[in-house]
Each structure stands twice: as structure tokens, then as C-alpha cells.
């Protein structure tokens, strides 16, 4: 079975719902709290290759608004470093399993990512 890693925040409602769904399906996964453990730029570059930068950066978050125009312009010029410097900008939760990436919790999409959908 592929290694599954859950990226999110402990205090995020969507992350709590997603973890409850994973637990309800009896799935083994590793939790990576992005606030505590950060986000290496290499990791986000790999994800962006699958889903694109627009899918990874949460432009509706408080962190995004607090960046201001100068900080927000980094989303185009250096998105990997922006996420490394501000990991809470990651759209969450993010699930990575066997090279597949699913951003945001959607039970159907997560089922496909985890190979549960038939």
C-alpha cells in the first residue's frame, strides 16, 4: 500500500472533517502539520507539477490578505518560496498518496486518490 500523508492544520475545520473521514475508513496516514513542520519548497514544486500553483495557494485566507500587494506578488514570481515562508497559505487539507495529490477535502476525489473508488 502507498504511503499516505495528510497536510493541514490542527485547528482547521476542513482538516478535522477530512481526518474524521480518513479515520472512518480505517486508513493509515501520517499527519504533517504545516504550521509546526513547515513546507519545504521542493515538496510544493512537486505538487505544483501535478495540480498547479493556483490549486495550492489559498488566496481566500487571512494570511494572504495580511501579505499585502508586495507579498502577494510573490505568488507569481516565487510561489515555492512564498509557501515555504508562509506554510499556512497552503489550501488545505492536502492528501498525498502514491504520487497522487488531492487538494481540499472532497470524499469522491480522495477516494480516487487513495484507490478506494471502483
CATH of the domain at 77: 3.40.30.10
Q: What is the pTM of this model?
A: 0.92
Domain for residue 54, yes or no? yes
Number of domains present in the structure of the chain: 1
Domain for residue 48, yes or no? yes
pLDDT at 118: 57
- The set of cell numbers assigned to 73 is 506578488
Distance CA 83, CA 62 (A): 14
Instruction: Tell me if residue 12 is catalytic.
Output: yes
Domain for residue 75, yes or no? yes
Q: Which residues of the chain have pLDDT under 70?
A: 1-2, 117-118
Alpha helices in the chain (DSSP H): 13-24, 34-37, 41-51, 53-56, 62-72, 74-77, 79-85, 107-113
pLDDT at 115: 87
pLDDT at 50: 94
Domain for residue 118, yes or no? no
pLDDT at 97: 94
Instruction: Domain of residue 91: give its range.
Output: 4-113
pLDDT at 1: 52
Domain for residue 97, yes or no? yes
Q: Which of 6, 7, 12, 90 is catalytic?
A: 12
Amino acid at each position: 500500500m502507498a504511503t499516505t500523508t495528510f497536510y493541514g492544520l490542527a485547528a482547521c475545520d476542513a482538516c478535522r472533517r477530512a481526518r474524521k473521514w480518513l479515520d472512518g475508513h480505517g486508513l493509515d496516514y501520517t499527519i504533517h502539520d504545516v504550521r509546526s513542520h513547515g513546507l519545504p519548497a521542493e515538496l510544493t514544486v512537486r505538487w505544483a507539477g501535478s495540480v498547479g500553483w493556483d490549486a495550492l495557494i489559498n488566496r481566500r485566507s487571512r494570511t494572504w490578505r495580511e501579505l499585502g500587494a508586495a507579498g502577494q506578488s510573490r505568488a507569481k514570481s516565487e510561489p515555492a518560496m512564498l509557501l515555504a515562508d508562509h506554510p499556512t497559505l497552503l489550501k488545505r487539507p492536502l492528501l498525498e498518496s502514491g504520487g497522487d495529490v488531492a487538494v481540499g477535502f472532497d470524499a469522491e476525489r480522495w477516494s480516487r486518490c487513495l484507490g478506494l473508488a471502483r
